[in-house]
Amino acid sequence: MARPGIRPLPAGAAAGAATAPGPARPWGQLRPGVVALLAAALALCSLIWMFQGLGGGNRSFILWLRAVKLAGLITVGASVAVATVLFQTVSANRVLTPSIMGFDALYVLLQTLLVASAGVTGFAAIDPAAKFLAEVAVMVLLAGLLFGALLGRGARDIPRMILTGVILGVMFRSISGFIARILDPNSYAVVQSVSFASFGRIDATLLLPGAAIAAAAIAAALVLAPRLDVLALGRTAAVSLGLRFDRMVVMSLALVAVLVSVSTALVGPVAFFGLLVAGMAHGLASSDRHAVLLPTAGLIGALILVAGQTLFERALAQPATLSVVVEFLGGLFFLYLLLRGRIR
């Protein structure tokens, strides 16, 4: 019986294999096409962002301002994208995002508690970088404690974990809401400003530590990529193959906590953006290997934010609307997933 070869293709045949319906790409082989294309598109958008309409005035000042914002958008886009892909892998579910587990609600609660206890002046007086690092640490610790306790019985009950996360998220939001109600109006205004997403207000002081932490977390996710592939097979198969499943789940959730902290600190909570990006990455990458999926998702996330902000700020003169549009599109995509029955 004639049978298409399963033998590994020589490296040179990679490009052909990616398009041909016949032989599958062998283990671990990347598909450089999509990733390279996305990287090129991101570079192009970044150049337009940096140099479009650059007048003769204070060039270095404008360039610096733009560079900070660009770096912030790329950091946030990549962080949200990678966090969502990681979370979807752990939960084996394509319609979940970390915000469903209450990760960003936890972050907002921390902010609210801080404002309530330190007051507006105290809140403003804290060194932003130190505060940010402490917040990331607390987030990882709390996420570790909460989800570590949930996973104590061996991470076998993912649906229970997610339900608990949803309930915790509602609880965090309610507590934040309650505290916000009893705050004085000035403090309330501060809480309000951290509780809503705005891609326009990236804090330059947080950018350097944020970008560094996000880069480290994304690098860690890339190192873990082959193990994430095994994790995605489900608990029985993964344990049978010798993966330390429970530890891998906790590590992935810790990375999610770090990345969500970074993006929430920089622009505020975003709910559906990650969903949109992860869905697009799964569609474009055409391989569910995380070594391909994670860079694809990260680049798509960064590209959408940079291109979107360029469009809205420069062409449409509506710098504040990007978060609304992105969330709207993400929400539509969520409905599409629901209607297409893509939920497993």
Contact between 240 and other proteins by CB under 8 A: the answer reads yes
**How big is the CA angle at 135 (ends 133 and 139), to the nearest 5 degrees?**
120
**How big is the CA angle at 259 (ends 231 and 29), to the nearest 5 degrees?**
45
Please tell me the distance from the alpha carbon of residue 266 to that of residue 53, in angstroms, as a whole number: 26
Encode burial over 90-107: b for 16+ CB neighbours within 10 A, e otherwise: bbebebbbbbbbbbbbbb
Total number of residues shown for the chain: 344
Find the binder of other proteins among 7, 55, 60, 315 (CB under 8 A). Answer: 7
Find the binder of other proteins among 157, 203, 288, 327 (CB under 8 A). Answer: 288
Find the binder of other proteins among 41, 48, 92, 129 (CB under 8 A). Answer: 92
Segment interacting with other proteins (CB under 8 A) among 85-93, 160-168, 301-309, 326-334:
85-93
Contact between 154 and other proteins by CB under 8 A: the answer reads yes
CB 290 within 8 A of CB 281: no
Nearer to other proteins, 114 or 224 (CB): 224
Backbone torsion region of residue 242, taken as left when φ is above 0, otherwise alpha when ψ lies between -120 and 50, otherwise beta: left
Contact between 12 and other proteins by CB under 8 A: the answer reads no
Segment interacting with other proteins (CB under 8 A) among 112-120, 171-179, 180-188, 240-248:
240-248
Contact between 187 and other proteins by CB under 8 A: the answer reads no
Q: In Å, what is the CA distance from 55 to each residue of 50, 58, 110, 133?
A: 12, 8, 42, 37
Segment interacting with other proteins (CB under 8 A) among 59-67, 88-96, 181-189, 254-262:
88-96
Find the binder of other proteins among 13, 14, 18, 23 (CB under 8 A). Answer: 23
Nearer to other proteins, 59 or 244 (CB): 244
Contact between 157 and other proteins by CB under 8 A: the answer reads no
Segment interacting with other proteins (CB under 8 A) among 90-98, 110-118, 298-306, 307-315:
90-98
Please tell me the distance from the alpha carbon of residue 299 to that of residue 290, in angstroms, as a whole number: 14
Contact between 24 and other proteins by CB under 8 A: the answer reads yes
Contact between 159 and other proteins by CB under 8 A: the answer reads no
Contact between 342 and other proteins by CB under 8 A: the answer reads no
Closest by CA to 264, choosing from 142, 148, 139, 176, is 139
Please tell me the distance from the alpha carbon of residue 312 to that of residue 175, in angstroms, as a whole number: 35
- For residue 62, count CB atoms less than 10 angstroms from its CB and return exposed for 0-12, middle for 13-18, buried for 19 or more: middle
Contact between 89 and other proteins by CB under 8 A: the answer reads yes
Find the binder of other proteins among 10, 11, 12, 22 (CB under 8 A). Answer: 22
Q: DSSP string covering 231-276, please?
A: HTT-HHHHHHTT--HHHHHHHHHHHHHHHHHHHHHHH---SSHHHH
Find the binder of other proteins among 204, 222, 232, 325 (CB under 8 A). Answer: 232
Tokens found for residue 219? 């690098």
Contact between 313 and other proteins by CB under 8 A: the answer reads no
Contact between 56 and other proteins by CB under 8 A: the answer reads no
Kindly list the residues in this chain that would bind other proteins in the complex (CB under 8 A): 1, 3-4, 6-8, 21-24, 26-28, 88-89, 92-94, 154, 226-227, 229-230, 232-237, 239-244, 282, 288, 344
